[in-house]
Structures are given as structure tokens and as C-alpha cells.
Amino acid sequence: MRDFTLAVGQWPVVNDKAQNLESAESFLRAAAQKGATLCVLPEMFLTPYELPLLRSSSEELDGPTLKRLRSVVRELKLYVVAGTFCEKRTNDYYNSAYVLDPEGEILGVHRKIHLFDVALESVNVKESAVLTPGDHPLVLETPFCRLGVCVCYDTRFPDIFRYFESQGVEVVAIPAAFSQATGSAHWHVLMRSRAVDYQVYLAAACPAPNLQSSYVAYGHSLVVDPWGTVLAEAGEGEDEILAVLRAEKLEKVRRELPLIQHRRPDLYRRWVAQR
């Protein structure tokens, strides 16, 4: 890893794809002017996170959204985790996060693995009624870090982060759309604990609340360091946050608190086998 500047974008996602795409482009241009190398967009940044809207807003790989983003990042020379949008592939629909390089090339895609099927007092969602789950976390080598990508609800499943650890990931990008109920309860504790337990930098992008939507996002996009310190946090409105990620900090935490060397996977496998 080497030092670089990371930017996270946050805005209220409205029921207008063109306006949401304008918000994404405005964020990318502002972040580039401030020296960002890597930018992260929120989950479902094209349409409010309402299941009936997802399929109607879906696009295929060569659709207008990725074409426009690829053109913008080529102009600005950015690496971008392009949030997520509903991707149509033949007869399936995925919650997909594409990663683009400064030439506008697609480096990889993470399709949300764990679908959000929950029935809480304030949130009742069944993603599996619309979406198909992905089956593998995304890990990429960039010139400045080894990057892992997962999406929102995936964060609650440590096995993904164990995989990231096994692959030498240093920075994890998480497009997300936590609700106000789950966000106020778990957003900070989950993001900070994942960063601490797996000794990574973590960038989580969440839309700002849109009070006109039936699903109200939490906002509070974060950048957290491997010690669990919040380096930057958005409020509840439209915002952009930037943080410099220091290679020396990552090395120091891993050297002084060597969790990776102290893991005992041989024992853990044995315990599971004995159940």
C-alpha cells in the first residue's frame, strides 16, 4: 500500500435517474479537484431503494450509466467504485458494484452476496423477490492498495472479511444503503468493528435520507482506519468526505497488534467439524 486520498459521495437519491447521475458526476468532479485517487458511490445510487423501482431502472453492462461513468473517470483519471445499480443479465437482476480505472476500463464487479430479507418493525424488505445473489467477493490489485469490495448487508457476515484477510486486502469499499433504523443502531459499530477486527481501512458510502421515499437511508458515510478511528464522516445531508489513507498507519497497527499471525484457523476448523 502507498498513501492516497479517498473520497466518499453522499446525496439523497430521488426518483429521477438523470438527476442522480448528475449528482454522482458532480461528486466525482469535486473529488478530483480535491486530489482524490479513489472515489466510492453509494448503494443503488440511481433510484430510491424501493423494490418495485429496481427492475424498471435496471441496466445491462453496456447501459447508459456505466458508459457515462466510464467517460467521466477517463476524463478525470480516477479509480471509482461505482456504487451499485440494478444490473440485468439475461433473466436475472443483481445489485452490482462495478470498479473502474482511470482509463474507464472495468476492473471487476461485486454482485451483492447476502440479500436483505428482513421483517423489522420499521423496515420490511425482501430483496430476494427481485434480485439474484452473487457468489464471490471482489478483490483487486491497484497501484496504491489491494482493494476489497462488498455491499451493505454483506458487511454483517464476517466470512467475507476473513476472505479479504486471506487475500491481503488493505482497503475495503462498501456501497451501502442502511436504513435509519438499522443505521442508528448498527452503522458505526459494524463499520468500526470490521476495520478493527480485520485491520483494514474501510470506506462506507450511504445515501443521504430522502424523506419522500418509503425507504429512508441513514447517511453518515464513513472512512475508518485500522485502529477504528473515524477519519471522516458525513452528516445526514448531501456531502462529500475525503481522507488520506496512510500506509504507515496500516503497517504500524498490523505490526504492533499482529492479529493475522495470531489466528488459529486449524483449531477453528476442528471446532466446527466436532459440532
| Under 8 Å between Cβ of 127 and 96 | no
Q: Is-catalytic flag, 145?
A: no
Catalytic entry in 17, 86, 87, 112? 112
Catalytic entry in 17, 39, 43, 233? 43
Q: Is-catalytic flag, 39?
A: no
Catalytic entry in 39, 145, 150, 152? 152
Q: Is-catalytic flag, 249?
A: no
Q: Which residues are catalytic?
A: 43, 112, 152
